[in-house]
Structure 1
């Protein structure tokens, strides 16, 4: 029986494929054993089919998906230059059902490959899946969008953001839209501030070639956290289909700007020096192999934005992410405004309520003030918490499910990708002009000592 879809991984010999894509595919096929998919790998390495199958089998085993290998046991590998039309044509001609090209390659290679596809006969329904970053600025993202539009319809282009495959991010939608207590207070009338923070204990992990040219701002805030912010702040969509949901997220991104149009006072940057994260020692970032100190690349970035619409005007939204940090508390934190009036006679502090969505492990908590057990007039702080589970699939499993189903709900739309570049560009310009100092922090700390807030 012919497969419904042929998943063609371009860059099959790379780390992204073996570490993330294949384990997620194995998990997906284990959970949904009825899927009919053919797997094909293509890369510059001179591998045999047998070697490729061993790579697939080993990757499947990392998610206890050994049994799923039978579904793709006839997978094949072809050494190919994906910037050459002839090689791309052969890959597409050999596909069964709908081809899905997954570009697990550096962005510059993916862009060259998309140009080469102009001279290829592309089967109807072909899906193109591209990893971030999408372009290097708004203009380059727009050019790439124009090129992709010549190849396939927009709903067949999957700009991958695996953060949108995180169950916790999707849980935001349930909490927001399925609970009237939250639905009615989800605006500037009741919310004082929002923080989206994604600290990482890891360092470069061999990615200096990419990371030193990108930094934390582009690698995380531009590529991921702005998309999370769009889920937090978008207007209620009519449905969760890809058209309505992506209309809603794109609209809120268009309304997003650096707070007060002042990137100097509303952004911060820093990079780590030598230190220890747990039992692991880190050299200073500038001493890492492949790092060019003259670039002034930051490993910790923060910027504050605002959404200029009726719902959110005046609410500061801070996005922050960095590497080699002591904290691993990755979360969306929504801080509500204080009560308008606290009746006289209560004792203790009446702190604002705080709603926290953890981005791993998946939990949701709400901090509230309640009457104390010993003295009913003395306020005490309690936290209501819910364990949301690990999710049925890894983030990339949810992404691959959408690609194989042709459902672009969790893919970034072209205009949204351009808007994310527009939003961060004033900060990039201010940093390049050295208008914002490049602070330092020892690895294993929470950040620069001067960042006390």
Structure 2
């Protein structure tokens, strides 16, 4: 089976992959498994090398053992073929590096030349900085001054979020990177853009003729985007307390999904055309002009003590490395508007938070109902039609329509049809990091964020952050294990709407069409 997969795969151009932060959690959980999956599927040929870089000392053998352990725990493929594993592992080397010492980068350059010769690598360089954003600039300067950019092949810089702390810090960081790399060489990762169903949004919209004519304010009542987590801050308390839901989730993941839903059809299937359309959406977001507007349209919450499935849960202020008087938000819900001809007047409701009842990422598109007192609407309480795009953990598309109840006259009930992608292909779909590393190695920037996207997103959320600094009393508390502060429901009720159930937790009176995975 592995050989069949390899035969159908297109390998990325050979390169040296530099993993800064190679002993960190991101490398262990995501990057090593992604590289092994790419190799297993033939998307990495034999002309590559991976250099693990971190401060702590490790031998090559120790590093490879760490990679092996990582794959066994987190990869969708297992390293059970000894010959395949040995071939893969020989491409991995480790170097202890003080990123503040340019001499270490010169040593890294010398090591690179040996790897180029050993694996016949054509001088291509991919630098993956799994580091704190304040280090991006200085590392980039040392890459240049250490001679690592003096090669005949391409060079690309992959950097993780957060890209800055606000618009001002992001702009300074971008100015530093621009002194070393061109914009087209900078790949800013938002791993949500690598998820299968997020990428499927544009296919659902633009490859189906019956959606596009309805995809506007004449037919859509509202759009709901939910990104909920059941976990708390865990071991990330120190980082999260300086970030919060606004910066950690809303500025990137939530606004990126909104842009994918609201964007106009790009003129061509070209990365820059698609990114141009996303930027237009972010520019069209109605800005909050005052603290009063922020308070009217945004709910800021923090979880307190509670329980989930009978298990007691601590409050945020009781978590490790969190200030016991912290006002950092762990929950955000917002009503935002995209002021253009397609979407004028349609509310987009966003909510994200920690310690919520269900882990899920979903987009619900609620269509306007049929006219009141006309035909069936005059005699029945008709439910609106829904299109639900399930991103995580289950992947798929769910459509709810109204239909006659079989065997009964004049009784209408909601019925659901679902394509469960996870049920069809299993849970072995490629991870987001696999897709994004593969795209970066091929120079495909479609699902990476461009600088003007980042700037527009920061400009929007900075107004919210400023209003919260002025009014610390805007923080509301919600019990861990609940769906957030009570005012979150009021946010939609003011407009005559409500939050729809997520993750398949639909109303009891919905009938699943025979053959659907959730059919009752």
State TM-score, norm by structure 1: 0.94
For 2:111, the equivalent position in structure 1 comes to 94
Q: Which has the higher contact order (CA 8 A, sep 6+)?
A: 1
Contact 2:288 2:464 in 1 (8 A): no
**Is residue 2:84 matched to residue 1:80?**
no
Matched, 1:152 2:181: yes
Please list, as runs of the form range in 1=range in 2, the aligned pairs for 1:40-439 lying within 5 A after superposition.
40-62=51-73, 63=75, 64-66=77-79, 67=81, 69=85, 70-95=87-112, 96=116, 97-117=123-143, 119-121=145-147, 122-123=149-150, 125-258=154-287, 262-278=293-309, 280-340=311-371, 343-344=374-375, 347-360=379-392, 361-389=394-422, 390=427, 392-434=429-471, 437-439=474-476
What secondary structure, in the 3-state scheme, does the structure 2 residue paired with 1:208 have? Answer: helix
SS at match of 1:237: coil
Which ranges in structure 2 are unaligned for 5 or more consecutive residues?
Answer: 1-12, 117-122, 491-520
- Residues 451 and 48 of structure 1, relative CA distance in 2, 3 Å threshold: same
Which of 31, 41, 45 lines up with 2:41 in the alignment? 31
What CA deviation, in whole Å up to 9, does each residue of 1:78-117 have, x standing for no partner?
Answer: 1112233333344345333311110111222224323444
Cα deviation for residue 200 of structure 1 reads: 0.2
What secondary structure is seen at the aligned counterpart in 1 of 2:403?
A: strand
- Deviation per CA, 1:342-394: give whole Å up to 9, x if none: 53356321122111111211011111111222334222101111112347310
Could you tell me which runs of 5 or more consecutive residues in structure 1 were left unpaired when the two chains were aligned.
Answer: none
Q: Is the 8 Å Cα contact of residues 14 and 44 (structure 2) preserved in structure 1? A: no
Shift in alpha-carbon separation, 1:450–1:397, aligned structure 2, 3 A: same
Cα distance in 2 for partners of 1:238, 1:135 equals 31
Question: What CA distance in whole angstroms lies between the structure 2 residues aligned with 1:329 and 1:136?
Answer: 26
| Contact kept? 1:84, 1:113, Cα under 8 Å | no
Give the Cα separation in 1 of the matches to 2:365 and 2:432. Answer: 23
Superposition TM-score, scaled by structure 2 size: 0.82
Report the 3-state secondary structure (helix = DSSP H, G, I; strand = E; otherwise coil) of the residue aligned with 1:193: strand
Query: Structure 1 pair 429/201, CA: closer, same or farther in 2 (3 Å)?
Result: same
> Aligned residue pairs: how many?
451
Deviations 1:103-145 (A, max 9, x none): 1112222243234445344245211011001011112212222
Say which SS state the counterpart of residue 180 (structure 1) adopts.
Answer: coil
Instruction: Give the aligned CA root-mean-square deviation in angstroms.
Output: 2.0
Contact 1:216/1:301 (<8 A) preserved: yes
